[in-house]
Each structure stands twice: as structure tokens, then as C-alpha cells.
Amino acid sequence: MRASRLFSPTLRKVADAELPGHRLLLRGGFIRPLASGLYSLLPLGWRVLQKIENIVREEMDHVDGQETLLPTLHPEELWVRSGRASKWGPELMRLTDRNNRVFCLGATHEEVITALVAAEARSYRQLPIMLYQIATKFRDEPRPRGGLIRCREFGMKDAYSFDRDKAGTDAVYDEVVEAYKRILKRMELPFRVTLASGGYIGGTDTREFMLISEAGEDALLLCSKCSYGASPDVADWGEKEIRERDTEMLAIERAATPGMRTVEQVTGFLSVRPSEIVKTIICSADGKPVAALVRGDHELNLDLLKKVLGVRSIELAGENMIRSVTRAPVGFAGPVGLENIKIITDEEIKALANFVTGGNEIDLHLKNVNWGRDFEVNQWARLRYAQPGDPCLVCNAPLEAARGIELAHVFKLGTIFSAPLDAAYLDEQGERHFIEMGCYGFGTTRAIAAIAEYSRDENGIIWPLSVAPYQVIIIVVNMEEKAQADLGQSLYQALSEKGLEVVFEDRDERAGVKFKDADLTGIPLQIVVGKHAADGRVEVRRRGRQEKDLVSPEQAIEWCDKEVKSALSEEGIS
RNA sequence: CGGGGCGUAGCUCAGUUUGGUCAGAGCGCAUGGUUUGGGACCAUGAGGCCGGCAGUUCGAGUCUGCCCGCCCCGACCA
């Protein structure tokens, strides 16, 4: 491609973009915004996406995935059947056809694929199947952000596995995990595999492939030593020695705390640390009030509480329930004097003595409260969320807080979709079973953003060869110098004939402009045809590296060829 | 949905406080010339519904109200 014909409008400055990677994608002429959360991919961006898609495609095919293409427009009725029409609510984009039939734009494709398989699969002999597609998804996100990181319309590879039993799903799942590792390695993205919750879709064994990045949207807790990592809402941690209190219990004191309802307010007002306060959270467990106690600097995990209590539903109590239990407005609950209510207490409070609690009276807190003496603990349990510093579940090293960009997601669906959509098969005995499913998503457009975020310098993006829009750029410093123009032209021809993807920077621009644009565009192999052209010498260098070599044109061709071959073979197309 | 910011030339922005020589700058673009190894220089020129609507006023880019759009934080989120 000749740069003089290439549609890649570069920009010096952009407003409305905070993330460095996003800015560089805009500046480099890869993407342009159309509306909030909607982007056009320009020729260079589209080429990058296709490279990414092809890597994904190869690795999915390698684990026996079969590519399909499913409709973007779904009858809403299908989503009603699976129960997700209401679950997703307005996030699912809806529209009507001329007959007033309601359709939605595919936010994901479990329904469609399950319906498809349900219609065709009858026998265990037809299983297992793994189908995937690389297609556009639509979600009316409450807040799109970060350019391609979170869009309302975005590219994704979604795969679905269909097996006769859980063991079958397990096997495919493990294979896809390995495939994803290869995909990310080929894109030269480092990643952590973390545990996550099922979210809207549900399912188990939810794992996310995260690029650790400040630009990430998701908070994570990562082990500082081993590979354990999880999102804070599901992070577990290892046994922690809790030394029971050994300080002397002081006399309980009433402390006026006018208007002080939050931990922050109370700590400030009474000059105590959050870890010296015990929060009392009134919850409604199957409709009955329960008091859950956690340290002021901890967060109550309702899921844990639900499990410990063995109830069906758990939620924070409403104002009325709190008033009737504590006889005080919200913000002053405490365990002392509570009657007819179960008090369940986080185990780490065992270590606390003389702590502050609410006084069950407006504008009142109590100081020097002690468990056992001032109130009875009905049950000790682990009730809080993990936090940085907690010991790793696996190796006991401290967990650290981090942020990540979710690149991919895998989980097991069981029969969540096959049951309502009636995807079943007959086994050897003629018995009917619902198909066991798995779901495996990979964000292709998001991967562009992730690479841009990860692999860059102040001058622009530095694309790995595997996903670069072009592999080589030949920069002719001055097209008016015949020696340079001719040498550039012949190099362009030779490299193209070798099958390399080349941009020929032939524009009538100043050298500085061309260099800046080349760096911004991030094409990994640069050949500069300049003042040494008359002596039959050109410069070669890797984008992002300082070193440059003065070589003959033949050596330059050889060098490009070698760099590309070694990069693409190191990927190990398996 | 809550909080904050912004909307003026293709891009980045000034001008809004205090209504009236207030339609501006730099970059980009076009033409001519000089330049040619890291976003050159000179000259000339084109380019604006000052986000929209409705008010206030003799007069609105500037004040008021409503609306729309974009960005950021939060809530939310395969």
C-alpha cells in the first residue's frame, strides 16, 4: 500500500480521550467515534482486527471449534423463553419490525445457538459439538468508556460447547483455556487468569483472562507470589491466625455522635481507626432480620452470609426493618441490647476488644464494647470480602489490589439454557437428558484496545508483528531525490513479491512528518531510504527500539523476511 | 441513573466573569515561493446557525429556562 493513497488520517491532538491507548488509536487513524460507544474501524484498525480474528479462528479450529455465523437480530420471544429478556432489561437493544414484532439485537448468543442445536441434536452420538462465531454484539451499556474497551457495539468471538455430561464440558473447557492462552501469547499480551462471578449469564467455573492495567475497569486481587487471582467479590483467602483479644475490657461508654452515620464520619468524630469500629448490618434473611457484624474497615459479603445462614434470599434490611429491630434510625445500629435477633459475627472480631458500635439510639454510639460481655455472639463465621493483604488461598503470600482489562471469559453453563430451550438428547438407554453447555467469549475489538494500551510508547502504538496492520514500512525521506525514490520503489516491489505486507511511504511530506506518522501507526519493521540511498544503503530498525542498522537493500529484505518468519513461527501456530 | 466537565472554523482551543469594534488564534486545508533526516518558513486565500429551541433585552457566543450531544468519576457491567 502506498502511504499517499492510504486512508489513515493522523491527528496531533485529540480531546475526549483519556486512556493513552485510546488516544493513540484515534491519533494513529485506526478508529473514529460515531456516537457514544460506537466506533468506525478505519483501514488500519480493520486490518488489526482481522489479524486478531484470524489468530482466534486458528486456535478455536485447533480445538475443534466449528465456525458459524448467527443472526444479529433475534426474536425477543427467544429471550423471554430463556428468562433473560427481563434480566437484561434495557441493556438489550430492542426494535420492532413492520408487523410490530419485537426483536432484539444480539447481546450474546446463548439463546440462538441453543435453539439451533435443540432443533438438530437428538442423540448422544451427535455430541460433543463446539460452535463459535466472530461477530458483532450490541449492548446498550449504561456507560461506554475507554474507546474500544467498552462499547455499545463491539466485536467478539463467542463459542458454545454442547456435551452429554459435565465431564465432557470440563474437557472442552480446559481445552479452550489452553487455546486462549495460546491466542494471547500470539498477540504478545501478558495475562492473568482470574476467578470471577457468573454475572448476568450465570454459570460456574467462571474464569477471566485479564490484562493487568491501570486502564482496566475491573478490580482484582492478585497473589503477589503465585498465579492466584480473583475479582474481589469472589476472592477467597487462606487461613489467618486470629489471636483472641488479650487486652483488658474497659467500662462501656456512651458517646454522642450527632448525625454521624458512616464509618468515616464516626472515625473522624471519635478519633478512632476504622478497624476499631464494628459495623452492625441488619439484613433480611428469607424475610427475617439478622444482625451481621464486621469490622469497620471490612465489607460484608452477602453471599457468604447467605451460605452460612443457609437461607434462600438475603438482602440488606429496609429502613422499616432496621427501625423495628434497633428502635433507631439507619446508621446507629449496634449489637448491644438487640433482642430476638440472631447476631452473626465475622471471625476477625474475636481479636477486637473495646470497640465502637452503634448505640441503637439516634446520635449515639458506644465505646469500649466487648463481645461476650456486652452482647452474645450466636455464630462466628467468615463474612467479609477479601481485601489486599489477606493471605493467598494457595500459597499464603499477601494478596495485592490490581486492575485489569477483561480480554476473555470462560464458564460452564450446565443446563441453564438447554433446559428452558429444550435442548436434549437421548442416551444409550434411550433416556432423555438436557445438554451440558459451556460458553467461551473473547473480546476481539477490546483486544485491539488492550494491545494499544499495553504495547506503546509516547510516540505511538508498537504493534506485535502478529497483529500489525502492516509488517513493514518503507520510509523514503525525500521523494524528489531520484535515488531514494527508485530504491524505495524497488524495495516495495521486492518485499511485496515476497508476500510481506508493506506500506510504501511515498508522500511528498517532510521527513519529520513521515517519521512521526510511522511511529504513530506502529508498523513494527521500518526501512528508511534516505541520504545513504545513493551508496546503496538503507536503515532498518524495529519500531520502539533505538538501534538502527545501515544495510544493503538485499540485507534489508532478508531482515524483514527473517523478522516476520521468526515472529510468526515463535507464535507456534499449533 | 447520581456527580463533575465540556459543546465557538476540519482539529486543538481563547473569548462567556462584567451583554455592545467580538467572530478570534494556532494547526490543518488551497495557491505560489523557499525548504527537505524527527510534525519547516514566507505570502495570499477559503472556511462559522458560537449544539438546539424558547425567553430576557434596543442589542445575546456572553444572561435565564428547557432539551440534545460528548468526555470523566460512580452505580451498573459475559
Write down the pLDDT at residue A574: 44
CA distances from A42 to A3, A198, A357, A359 (A): 14, 34, 59, 63
**Strand B close to A347 by CB, under 7 A:** no
* Diameter of chain A measured on Cα atoms: 95
Instruction: Tell me the pLDDT of chain A (574 aa) as tens digits.
Output: 999 999 999 999 999 889 999 999 999 999 999 999 999 999 999 999 999 999 999 999 999 999 999 999 999 999 999 999 998 999 999 999 999 999 999 999 999 999 999 999 999 999 999 999 999 999 999 999 999 999 999 999 999 999 999 999 999 999 999 999 999 999 999 999 999 987 666 678 899 999 999 999 999 999 999 999 999 988 999 988 888 898 899 999 999 998 888 888 888 889 898 899 999 999 989 889 999 999 998 989 888 898 899 988 888 888 888 889 999 888 889 999 998 899 999 999 999 999 999 999 999 999 999 999 999 999 999 999 999 999 999 999 999 999 999 999 999 999 999 999 999 999 999 999 999 999 999 999 999 999 999 999 999 999 999 999 999 999 999 999 999 999 999 999 999 999 999 999 999 999 999 999 999 999 999 999 999 999 999 999 999 999 999 999 999 999 999 999 999 986 555 4
Per the CB < 8 A criterion, the answer to whether A204 and A411 are in contact is: yes
Q: Cα A475–A481–A486 angle (5° rounding)?
A: 65
**Strand B close to A37 by CB, under 7 A:** yes
A44 CB-near residues (< 8 Å, 6+ apart): A6, A8, A28, A29, A30, A469, A470, A521
Write down the pLDDT at residue A162: 98
Per the CB < 8 A criterion, the answer to whether A28 and A8 are in contact is: yes
Q: How far is the CA of A34 from the C1' of B65 (A)?
A: 30
Q: State the nucleotide closest to A196 in CA–C1' terms.
A: B78
Per the CB < 8 A criterion, the answer to whether A77 and A109 are in contact is: no
Q: State the nucleotide closest to A538 in CA–C1' terms.
A: B37
How far is residue A67's CA from residue A84's CA, in Å, rounded to a whole number? Answer: 25
A459 CB-near residues (< 8 Å, 6+ apart): A516, A519, A520
Residue ranges covered by each domain of chain A: 43-70+107-236+401-452, 253-381, 462-570
**Which 488-517 residues of chain A approach strand B with CB closer than 7 Å?**
510-513, 515-517
How far is residue A432's CA from residue A439's CA, in Å, rounded to a whole number? Answer: 22
**Which 374-403 residues of chain A approach strand B with CB closer than 7 Å?**
none
A195 CB-near residues (< 8 Å, 6+ apart): A206, A207, A208, A229, A230, A231, A234, A235
**Strand B close to A199 by CB, under 7 A:** yes
DSSP letter for each residue of A181-206: HHHHHHTT---EEEE---TTT--EEE
Residue A375's nearest CA partner among A332, A328, A329, A334 is A334
What is the CATH code for A462-570?
3.40.50.800
Which bases of strand B sit closer than 7 A to a protein CB? Answer: 1-2, 11-13, 27, 35-40, 69-78
Write down the pLDDT at residue A201: 64
Q: State the nucleotide closest to A520 in CA–C1' terms.
A: B39
Q: How far is the CA of A97 from the C1' of B5 (A)?
A: 39
Write down the pLDDT at residue A572: 52
**Strand B close to A457 by CB, under 7 A:** no
Instruction: Give the CATH H-level superfamily of domain A43-70+107-236+401-452.
Output: Bira Bifunctional Protein; Domain 2 (3.30.930.10)
Task: Write down the residue that cell numbers 450465570 correspond to.
Answer: A202
What is the CATH code for A253-381?
3.90.960.10
Q: How far is the CA of A13 from the C1' of B16 (A)?
A: 25
| Rama region for A486: left / alpha / beta (φ>0; ψ in -120 to 50; rest) | alpha
Rg (CA), chain A: 30
Strand, helix or coil at A245? coil
Q: C-alpha dihedral over A538, A542, A548, A549, to 10 degrees?
A: -50
How far is residue A187's CA from residue A194's CA, in Å, rounded to a whole number? Answer: 19
How far is residue A51's CA from residue A53's CA, in Å, rounded to a whole number? Answer: 5
Whether ipTM > 0.90 holds is yes
Q: How far is the CA of A167 from the C1' of B14 (A)?
A: 67
Write down the pLDDT at residue A176: 97
Q: State the nucleotide closest to A519 in CA–C1' terms.
A: B38
pLDDT tens track for A550-572: 999 999 999 999 999 999 986 55
Write down the pLDDT at residue A200: 63
Beta strand ranges found along A302-390 (DSSP E): 314-316, 342-346, 355-358, 364-369, 379-381
Write down the pLDDT at residue A204: 83
How far is residue A327's CA from residue A325's CA, in Å, rounded to a whole number? Answer: 6
